[in-house]
């Protein structure tokens, strides 16, 4: 039996109209559409893709057992997440082994700070995979502030906000332009790093770029709490 193909489908930053033509086609043609969510069950990825779904498709809803809270898993948070990805990969593998094509949805781009990569590494030794790139939140944030990220020979640095404060400050000070991802609870530390690097006054805070809930503020004006 011919096995199915895994499609890692980038959905863009949140606006369904920023889903690419190819992504929309792949989603509509897939036998199975898979997506992640936290335990509350609301999947942002599914909401973005909803206009492109069709009747009769199998849906695999992959629910994270934990996000940032504590867990009773004997392996702690890391153990719970590792078991989740292993089980989720096997759920997807069962469809691929049966010859079904699977569209695994990813907000933004599948290979840019995406949970898709945890599935990709577990499945691609056994199954063929195709990546459908998506518009990143970086591009959407730049559009939201109507400001070029980089020009000419300028250097752009992309940083996770979870870096140690000293490392974050050093990298912010040493680049022409920077994007800091994964803010959340780390924002107070990020704000301090921006200030210490002398970059706070030129920084913007962009939340939920491209969506109806988009929020843009000078970084210095964002409530640290």
Q: Look at residue 184 in the predicted model and tell me its pLDDT.
A: 84
Tell me: do 25 and 66 sit in the same domain. yes
Reported as a single tens digit per residue, the pLDDT across 158-205 is 999 999 999 999 999 999 999 999 898 899 999 999 999 999 999 999
Q: Look at residue 65 in the predicted model and tell me its pLDDT.
A: 83
Tell me: do 76 and 141 sit in the same domain. no
Task: Tell which residue, 119, 115, 104, 134, has the closest CA to residue 11.
Answer: 134
In a domain, 141, yes or no: yes
Q: How many domains does the chain have?
A: 2
> Which CATH number belongs to the domain containing residue 169 in this structure?
3.30.950.10
d(CA 96, CA 147): 43
Low-confidence ranges of the chain (pLDDT < 50): none
In a domain, 36, yes or no: yes
In a domain, 1, yes or no: no
Among all chains, which residue has been given the structure tokens 């949805």? 105
Q: Look at residue 123 in the predicted model and tell me its pLDDT.
A: 98
d(CA 86, CA 5): 19
Tell me: do 37 and 122 sit in the same domain. yes
d(CA 208, CA 204): 13
CB of 36 within 8 A of CB of 62? Answer: yes
Tell me: do 50 and 92 sit in the same domain. yes
Task: Tell which residue, 77, 54, 52, 55, has the closest CA to residue 64.
Answer: 77
Task: Tell which residue, 167, 151, 147, has the closest CA to residue 159.
Answer: 167
Q: Look at residue 24 in the predicted model and tell me its pLDDT.
A: 98
Tell me: do 36 and 94 sit in the same domain. yes
d(CA 112, CA 10): 10
Q: Look at residue 185 in the predicted model and tell me its pLDDT.
A: 87
CB of 210 within 8 A of CB of 15? Answer: yes
Tell me: do 150 and 213 sit in the same domain. yes
Tell me: do 114 and 144 sit in the same domain. no
In a domain, 224, yes or no: no
Tell me: do 19 and 108 sit in the same domain. yes
Tell me: do 67 and 173 sit in the same domain. no
Q: Look at residue 108 in the predicted model and tell me its pLDDT.
A: 97
Statement: the pTM of the whole predicted model exceeds 0.85: yes
Q: What backbone phi and psi angles, to 5 degrees, belong to 150?
A: -145, 150
Domain boundary among 132, 154, 188: 132
Tell me: do 67 and 111 sit in the same domain. yes
Q: Domain limits at 200?
A: 137-218
CB of 135 within 8 A of CB of 18? Answer: yes
In a domain, 106, yes or no: yes
Instruction: Please measure the distance between the N-terminal and C-terminal CA atoms of the chain and give it in whole angstroms.
Output: 55
User: What CA dihedral angle connects 105, 109, 115 and 118, to 10 degrees?
Assistant: 100
Q: Look at residue 66 in the predicted model and tell me its pLDDT.
A: 66
d(CA 97, CA 139): 36
Tell me: do 16 and 117 sit in the same domain. yes
Domain boundary among 132, 156, 176: 132
**How many Cα atoms occupy the beta-carbon half-sphere of 154 within 13 Å?**
11
Tell me: do 17 and 90 sit in the same domain. yes
Domain boundary among 69, 97, 132: 132
In a domain, 160, yes or no: yes
Q: Look at residue 41 in the predicted model and tell me its pLDDT.
A: 84
Among all chains, which residue has been given the structure tokens 């695994």? 104
Q: Look at residue 77 in the predicted model and tell me its pLDDT.
A: 66
């Amino acid at each position: 039996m011919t096995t199915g193909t895994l499609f890692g489908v980038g959905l863009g930053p949140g606006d369904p109209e920023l889903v690419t033509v190819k992504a929309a086609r792949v989603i509509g043609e897939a036998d199975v559409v898979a997506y992640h969510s936290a335990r509350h069950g609301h999947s942002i990825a599914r909401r973005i893709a909803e206009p492109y779904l069709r009747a009769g498709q199998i849906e695999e809803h992959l629910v994270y057992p934990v996000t940032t809270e504590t867990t009773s898993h004997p392996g702690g948070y890391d153990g719970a997440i590792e078991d989740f990805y292993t089980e989720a990969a096997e759920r997807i593998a069962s469809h691929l082994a049966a010859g079904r094509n699977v569209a695994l949805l990813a907000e933004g781009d599948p290979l840019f700070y995406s949970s898709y990569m945890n599935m990709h590494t577990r499945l691609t030794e056994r199954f063929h995979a195709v990546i459908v790139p998506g518009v990143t939140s970086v591009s959407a944030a730049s559009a939201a502030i109507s400001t070029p990220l980089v020009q000419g020979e300028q250097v752009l640095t992309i940083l996770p906000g979870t870096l140690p404060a000293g490392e974050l400050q050093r990298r912010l000070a040493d680049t022409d332009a920077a994007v800091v991802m994964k803010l959340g609870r780390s924002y107070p530390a990020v704000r301090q790093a921006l200030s210490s690097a002398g970059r706070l006054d030129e920084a913007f805070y962009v939340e939920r770029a491209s969506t109806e809930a988009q929020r843009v503020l000078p970084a210095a004006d964002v409530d640290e709490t």
